[in-house]
Amino acid sequence: MRTDRRLVRLLAVLWALALVAAACGGDDDEGTTAEEDADTTETSEAAETDSTEETVAEGGDFAGQSVTAPDCEYGGKISSIEATAEFEVTFTMCSPVPAFRQIAAFTPFGIQPEEHLEATGGAPLDNPIGTGPFVLTEWNRGEQIVYSANPDYWGEGAAYDTLVFRWATEGAARLLELQSGTVDQITNLSPDDFETVQGDSNLTFLPVANPNTLYLAMTAQLDAFGDSPGGDTVFADPLVREAIALGIDRQRIVDNFYPEGSEVASHFTPCSIPNGCEGEAWYDFDPDRAKELLAEAGFPDGFETQIFYRDVFRGYLPEPGVVAVEFQTQLKENLNIDAEVVVMESGEFIDESTNGRLDGLYLLGWGADYPHVTNFLDFHFSKSNPQFGEPHPEIYELLEQGSQIAEDAAAADIYAQANDAIRELIPMVPIAHGASASATLATVENGHFRPFGAPLFHRVNPGKETFVFMQNAEPISLYCTDETDGESLAACQQVVEPLLGYAIDSGAVEPRLATECTGNEDATVWTCALREGVTFHDGSSFDANDVVASWAAGIDAQNPLHIGNTGAFEYYSYLWDALINGES
């Protein structure tokens, strides 16, 4: 199927070129990209709203596709992505992107066959096809996901036949399953269970070194970016935001609800991330001053609001329902604010919160996806993120500068200014950096939990034919180009691979579908050499056009395959600053 389609496309392109030559005396009037290779000729087959183009290599042996921004005035980092050879993709940037490799190794930038994306209309939500070590067998909604080992995996495959994902929201329920032997590994031990696991010779305790942050968020303008009319909330007043910042006893929360090794957040980004803790530390607890500020804002007797959360146990938020009630208690005790606790379904909560539609406070957090400060700050405070209301140029303009600086030390002053601006504007309150742990049966060989990303389950040996992993919640979908929750990303990682990946024990970047990605001197052009001889789970061959099609579906807002689940494609929008052809 794949070979036949490309032959038809190639013949069509050659015929179109012949017609152009006949009509124009050999002059090429077709638009070309700014970074066109000297040995290629371009012709557009796209509709007016589709920026994907196709180039024919001299000799006619490969028709390479590309996606190109009209210009760099749209505000994003990516100028073009081009299949410059059958096994080579070139990313041209609008500005230096020193962290390209760290970002490109992240799960949402995984590759699927262009034909599969087209066949699913840009929404392979429950039927991903990838090149990974496991093939999706079935997803029984509400129960489990079953994978089979990929017999044609390009790397070292799994030592067992079947991988099963299950989930349970309660830490005690997950531990009971592990102790009974019905699962082989669980995630996010409850803090009270650390000693139990450490003292059980049948289990292995696995500390998780993933940097993370819990924060208490406030939306200043409700639905400011939505279709319905937006308006200021009570949290639009900076005095109210500062009162909240001063009125929460964060140390009490860490002492009472977090395991040993956790710490009160001095900055939004954990200090283990370079430049994360530049600038002044966060405000100290001062309930008297908090009440004064609230009175100055016109609320001497407090006000009513809501605290939203999702009932999903994470390293940054153990036992979320209990912690939510603690916030409710403190708001009443320290500020006379009456806050109703509201639990939401996970997918709805993520959609509503990250799009700035929750009228009240909410508990959300972040676990590091890659080891760079841009992962924490650029996602949450970019000009594309309406999560806290209208984004602040005082913050995002500095972040844009910092992201272009390769050396951590050279960027330190920029990030100090950015962190100080976050502290002054208070779009949220950083609460804690949580210590967390996973656990396996003692019979599992090479059990692990990576600092960045889900475990590499094909590296594990359970000593039997089936390995069962239990996480906190069911995935929202398995099309992680358009998901942000960790439960979805962990499930996607088993099937779909990016060009690069993270090591099993660190944030070091390793080859995956690309054998290497190298940048030019100023990090504005990145060329990725692709692995040859790789096949997708449907038997089709992997090449550069699959990379372009997968990235174009996420980065180009007018691409016909830019559908997804929510349609937000948040990681593409935030980590690359903006979507090509997106709304300005």
What the chain holds in terms of domains, given with CATH numbers, is 2-34+41-123+508-553 (no CATH), 134-184+444-495 (3.40.190), 212-433 (3.10.105.10)
pLDDT digits (tens, 9 = 90+) for 414-457: 999 999 999 999 999 999 999 999 999 999 999 999 999 999 99
Cβ contact 380:219 at 8 Å = no
- Structure tokens belonging to residue 339: 């806050």
Asked if the model's pLDDT at residue 45 lies above 60, the reply is: no
Please give the Cα distance from 518 to 527 (Å, whole number): 5
Alpha carbon of 182 to those of 175, 178, 446, 469, 470: distances in Å? 10, 6, 19, 10, 10
> Residue 56: its pLDDT value, please?
55
Closest C-alpha among 456, 458, 496, 457 to residue 480: 496
Please give the Cα distance from 372 to 369 (Å, whole number): 9
Asked if the model's pLDDT at residue 227 lies above 60, the reply is: no
Closest C-alpha among 474, 477, 475 to residue 563: 477
Per residue, what are the HEC states of 64-92? EEEEECCCHHHCCCEEEEEEEECCEEEEE
Q: Which residues contact 68 (CB under 8 A, 6 or more apart)?
A: 33, 34, 51, 53, 79, 80, 81, 82, 580
Query: 41-55, 100-114, 116-130, 280-294: which has the minimum mean pLDDT?
Result: 41-55
Query: DSSP class of residue 282?
Result: P
Please list the residues that pair with 231 across neighbouring strands.
222
pLDDT digits (tens, 9 = 90+) for 350-405: 989 988 999 999 999 999 888 889 999 998 999 888 899 999 999 999 999 999 99
**Residue with the two structure tokens 């990838």:** 130
Cβ contact 542:535 at 8 Å = yes
Please list the residues that pair with 217 across neighbouring strands.
362, 428
> Residue 231: its pLDDT value, please?
73
Q: Which residues contact 404 (CB under 8 A, 6 or more apart)?
A: 95, 96, 97, 98, 523
pTM for the structure as a whole: 0.78
Cβ contact 85:67 at 8 Å = no
Cβ contact 202:260 at 8 Å = no
Q: Which residues contact 341 (CB under 8 A, 6 or more apart)?
A: 306, 307, 309, 321, 324, 325, 328
> At residue 208, what are phi and psi to the nearest 5 degrees?
-110, 125
Asked if the model's pLDDT at residue 4 lies above 50, the reply is: no
Query: 389-393, 486-490, 514-518, 580-584: which has the minimum mean pLDDT?
Result: 580-584
Length of the chain: 584
Please give the Cα distance from 290 to 451 (Å, whole number): 37
> Residue 32: its pLDDT value, please?
32
Torsion of CA 471, 473, 478, 479, to 10 degrees: -120
> Residue 44: its pLDDT value, please?
32
> Residue 60: its pLDDT value, please?
61
Residue 164: Cβ-neighbour burial (10 angstroms; 0-12, 13-18, 19+): middle
> Residue 379: its pLDDT value, please?
87
pLDDT digits (tens, 9 = 90+) for 495-551: 999 999 999 998 899 999 999 999 999 999 999 999 999 999 999 999 999 999 999
For the chain, the first-to-last Cα distance in angstroms comes to 39
Please give the Cα distance from 169 to 171 (Å, whole number): 7
**b or e along 312-334 (b: 16 or more beta carbons within 10 Å of the residue's beta carbon)?**
bbbbbbbbbeebbebbbebbeeb
Angle (nearest 5°) at CA 418 between 398 and 252: 155
pLDDT digits (tens, 9 = 90+) for 46-93: 333 445 666 654 446 899 999 999 999 999 999 999 999 999 999 999
Asked if the model's pLDDT at residue 199 lies above 60, the reply is: yes
> Residue 221: its pLDDT value, please?
86
> At residue 301, what are phi and psi to the nearest 5 degrees?
-105, 15
Please give the Cα distance from 546 to 43 (Å, whole number): 19
Q: Letter for the amino acid at 167? A: W
Q: Where are the alpha helices (DSSP H) in 63-216?
A: 100-104, 114-119, 171-180, 194-198
Q: Which residues contact 131 (CB under 8 A, 6 or more apart)?
A: 111, 153, 154, 496, 497, 513, 534, 535, 536, 537, 542
